[in-house]
Amino acid sequence: MGKLLDRLQPAVKKETKNVFLYTLIGCVIMIAAVFVLHKWFWPELFPFDYTVFIGAAGGLIIAVLNFFLMALTVQAVTAEEDDKNATEIMKKSFRKRKALQLLWCVAAFAIPAVFWPAGILPLLFPSAGIKIKGIIEQKKYIRQEVEQKQDGCQ
């Protein structure tokens, strides 16, 4: 494992940490929402017990692992000189990662110790976190651009 981490590009390490944080924040918000739904609205429909936490933990692990494996694939593809080989590597990776997610979804439904929505929703959090970060950074960039134009006009 040490050799793998040594060969990782800094961007892969950084973005994997970011995706872990986005997904963790999403899981905390999801757990809080399940608590509210359990406490004040539908306690029979939304349990608030260990199954929620097991589902969230499993979903978090699968979501971050999926992103990490994708990042490793992209890193490998950028080092590949043959375009046909690179395309094949990406296709294989995509199929394997989707199979991993599908197996987790089936397991989340099948295993009684997992509250299935809490297990499946974290798979959506990395994408949402990346999009939210992009929106925030775009607003910062636009604000800086406007300030630079205003400074130039005076």
102-152 pLDDT tens trace: 999 999 999 999 988 989 999 999 888 888 888 888 877 777 766 666 666
| Residue 52 exposed, middle or buried by CB count within 10 Å (0-12, 13-18, 19+) | buried
pLDDT tens-digit readout, 64-94 = 999 999 988 888 888 878 888 888 889 999 9
Domain boundaries, the chain: 9-153
Q: Is the pTM of this model over 0.85?
A: no
- 3-class DSSP state for residue 47? coil
Tokens, residue 60: 């978090």
Q: Is the pLDDT of residue 2 over 70?
A: no
- 3-class DSSP state for residue 114? coil
Asked if residues 100 and 62 have their Cβ atoms less than 8 Å apart, the reply is yes
The pLDDT of residue 98 is 94
